[in-house]
A = this chain, B = another copy of it.
Amino acid sequence: MSERMTQDAPPRPGALLARGVCRYMLSAGIAPVTEFAPEARLRADVMGVDARGRIWIVECKSSLADFRADAKWRGYLAWCDLFAFAAPADFPHEALPEDEGLLIADGYGAELIRLPAPRPLPPARRKALTLRLAMAAARRLRAALDPGAAAFDSLSGED
């Protein structure tokens, strides 16, 4: 879980961007969950769901090298209705794919510069993802509110 990671190790630059992205999402009515794995090989920086039930994924790129080292991002397109990159203001944005959404972000907030084109998920996949997001967020929330809860969690390690 991301909250553990930030206690045990210095935050990656992407994790700081993710905090700003989450603040943007909250302001836009999208409920965000960081470090969520839609399938075993993938781990989205920020996944979110809005009141219309649409699933968002935002991948945070702290630098051009960070983006170029990422061979996986196209894999996320099959797991969201809306996909966007988030990058700092000094990132060369023209290097990012024009067909995807774009947020300018720092650790304190973010701004949506380019709206993602919706690629609607099959309803069964959206339904399954929504359920898994609900369970992951609820379980992490309990761990945050009740330090004794984690020892009871039979699903520990499943996201």
Contacts and interface: CB of A to CB of B under 8 A. Distances in A.
Interface in A1-51: 2-3, 19, 22-24, 26-29, 31-33, 48-51
A100 B17 CA distance: 47
Interface size class of A (residues with CB under 8 A): 35 or more
Contacts of A50: 135
Contact of A28 (B33, B108, B135, B154): B154
Contacts of A149: 22-23, 26
Given A27-B152, A152-B24, A152-B26, A49 B141 contact: no
Given A22-B149, A145-B144, A134 B31 contact: yes
A142 interface: yes
Contacts of A88: none
A127 B129 CA distance: 12
Contacts of A48: 138
Contacts of A144: 141, 144-145
Nearest to A51: B135
A146 B29 contact: no
Contacts of A116: none
A140 B127 CA distance: 21
A142 B49 CA distance: 13
Nearest to A127: B127
Contacts of A33: 138, 141
Interface string A100-137: 00000000110000000000000000010011011111
